């Protein structure tokens, strides 16, 4: 948005510096544009073209010819609608869980941490120092049948002896929420930290209690962070396949697992491409609706 302002402004400008100044935005944009064209636009076309290909009967594995078969999309969707739906349900649950953990955390860091603020912020991003895969594998140890979490829960009466967390839907959702927690926390913190404490004091002066202040002042002012955080969590979570593969079971597979399986195991590139495309489109639609609904499009 800001750069468009810049563009229109430079066009109305007159004078000797016009030429150079009007080029500046393009020069600034060039690295990003080249990157996007090479690694996003071109692959998107390649993906679209692959998605309508067909493997001729009897041909070698991995051989596909273009037949513009759009029914690939319907076929691909029909065989994986269950995993499709599951992806969005799990991603949604993980986003809610991450929000429930991250909001108080970000609030505490922004308003209550004092001199520990920087240490706490480093701690939030500390998990990134280790590989994503290793951290997820570590969760299988934590949630193991004879591990600390399950043993602690089994102390509660009426918990069945066969109770377990590993390889259940809960484990997948927990894993997703954990892995994307920093993406939720940091935007929330950035929004909360910008809130002028005087607005909170003013709210108190107007006889609002703590809860009302939160509802009427803090929450609305942190909306940009909340929207950004939920998007940054939901989008990668919906396409994730690592958590479902490591922490799940055969009945908790997500759409990412199906795409991976079709691409690598079955070598069915068209189905994998069609599913990737559908996933991208669905996420785009959901995100657009969400941003419209939350009314913060000018803030994101």
Partner 1 sequence: MKKDKKSLSPEARAIIRAQLTRRSLFAGVGAASAAGLLAACGTGSSTGLEAVVDVSDTEKIVRWANWPLYLDFDEDTKIYPTLAAFEQKSGIKATYEEAIDDNNTFYGKVQGQLSIGSDIGYDIVTPTDWMAARFIEQGYAQKLDPKNVPNKSNIREVLANVGYDKGREYSLTWQSGFAGFGWNTQKLPKGVRTMEDLFVPANKGKVVVLSELRDTIGVIMLYQGVDPSSNFTEDQFMNAIDFFKGKISDGFIRQVKGNSYSEDLKRGDANAVIGWSGDIFILRAESDGKFDFAIPESGGTLWSDNMLIPSTSTHKKNAESLMNYYYEPAVAAEVAAYVNYICPVEAAQPELEKIDPELGNSPYIFPDAATLEKVKVFRSLSADESTKFQTAFDEAIGN
Nearer to partner 1, 43 or 220 (CB): 43
Asked if 154 touches partner 1 (CB under 8 A), the answer is no
Listing DSSP states for 125-181 in one string gives HGGGGS-HHHHHHHHHHHT-TTSHHHHHHHTSTT--TT---TTSHHHHHHHHHHHTH
Asked if 235 touches partner 1 (CB under 8 A), the answer is no
Give the residue ranges of DSSP H helices in the chain.
Answer: 2-12, 18-36, 42-51, 71-107, 117-125, 132-142, 148-154, 169-179, 181-194, 197-205, 210-213, 219-221, 223-239, 242-247, 255-260, 269-294
* Segment near partner 1 (CB under 8 A); pick from 11-19, 172-180, 224-232, 242-250: 242-250
* Radius of gyration for the alpha carbons in the chain, expressed in angstroms and rounded: 24
CA atoms within 13 A on the CB side of 33: 6
Nearer to partner 1, 200 or 279 (CB): 279
Asked if 147 touches partner 1 (CB under 8 A), the answer is yes
Candidate list 92, 263, 291, 296; residue touching partner 1; CB under 8 A: 263
Nearer to partner 1, 89 or 144 (CB): 144
Cα 239 to Cα 202: distance, rounded to the nearest angstrom: 43
Whole-angstrom CA distances from 235 to 41, 97, 262 are 19, 15, 21
Nearer to partner 1, 12 or 162 (CB): 162
Candidate list 121, 253, 278, 283; residue touching partner 1; CB under 8 A: 253
* Segment near partner 1 (CB under 8 A); pick from 87-95, 159-167, 192-200, 226-234: 159-167
Candidate list 74, 137, 285, 289; residue touching partner 1; CB under 8 A: 137
Nearer to partner 1, 161 or 298 (CB): 161
| Terminal C-alpha separation, the chain | 10
Asked if 170 touches partner 1 (CB under 8 A), the answer is no
Question: What b-and-e string marks burial along 204-216, b requiring 16 or more CB atoms within 10 Å of the CB?
Answer: eeeebeeeebbee
Asked if 72 touches partner 1 (CB under 8 A), the answer is no
Asked if 127 touches partner 1 (CB under 8 A), the answer is no
Candidate list 199, 209, 249, 288; residue touching partner 1; CB under 8 A: 249
Q: What is the dihedral of CA 283, 256, 127, 112, to 10 degrees?
A: 30
Candidate list 87, 95, 222, 261; residue touching partner 1; CB under 8 A: 261
Asked if 38 touches partner 1 (CB under 8 A), the answer is no
CB of 145: closest distance to partner 1 in angstroms? Answer: 5
The answer to whether 228 and 121 have CB atoms below 8 angstroms apart is no
Candidate list 79, 190, 208, 221; residue touching partner 1; CB under 8 A: 79
Name the site residues for partner 1 (rule: CB under 8 A). 39, 42-44, 46-47, 50, 53, 55, 57-64, 79, 83, 131-134, 137-138, 140-141, 144-147, 162, 164, 166-167, 239, 242, 245-246, 248-253, 256-269, 272-273, 276, 280
């Amino acid at each position: 948005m800001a750069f468009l302002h810049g563009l229109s402004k430079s066009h109305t400008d007159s004078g000797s510096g016009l030429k150079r100044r009007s080029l500046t935005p393009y020069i600034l944009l060039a690295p990003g544009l080249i990157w996007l064209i090479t690694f996003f636009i071109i692959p998107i076309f390649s993906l679209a073209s692959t998605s309508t290909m067909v493997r001729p009967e009897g041909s070698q594995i991995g051989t596909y010819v273009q037949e513009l078969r759009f029914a690939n999309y319907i076929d691909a969707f029909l065989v994986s609608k269950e995993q499709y739906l599951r992806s969005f349900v799990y991603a949604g649950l993980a986003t809610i869980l991450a929000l429930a953990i991250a909001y108080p955390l970000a609030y505490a860091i922004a308003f209550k941490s004092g001199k520990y603020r920087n240490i706490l912020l480093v701690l939030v991003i500390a998990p990134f120092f280790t590989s994503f895969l290793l951290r997820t594998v570590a969760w299988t140890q934590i949630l193991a049948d004879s591990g600390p979490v399950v043993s602690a829960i089994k102390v509660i009466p009426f918990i069945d002896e066969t109770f377990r967390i590993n390889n259940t839907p809960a484990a997948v959702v927990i894993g997703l929420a954990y892995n994307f927690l920093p993406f939720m926390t940091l935007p929330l913190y950035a929004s909360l930290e910008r809130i002028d404490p005087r607005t909170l004091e003013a709210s108190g002066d107007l006889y609002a209690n703590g809860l009302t202040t939160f509802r009427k002042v803090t929450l609305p002012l942190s909306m940009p962070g909340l929207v950004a955080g939920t998007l940054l969590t939901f989008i990668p979570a919906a396409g994730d396949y690592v958590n479902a593969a490591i922490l799940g079971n055969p009945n908790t597979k997500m759409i990412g697992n199906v795409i991976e399986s079709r691409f690598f195991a079955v070598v069915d590139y068209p189905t994998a491409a069609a599913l990737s495309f559908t996933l991208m489109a669905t996420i785009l639609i959901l995100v657009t609706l969400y941003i419209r609904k939350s009314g913060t499009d000018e803030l994101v």
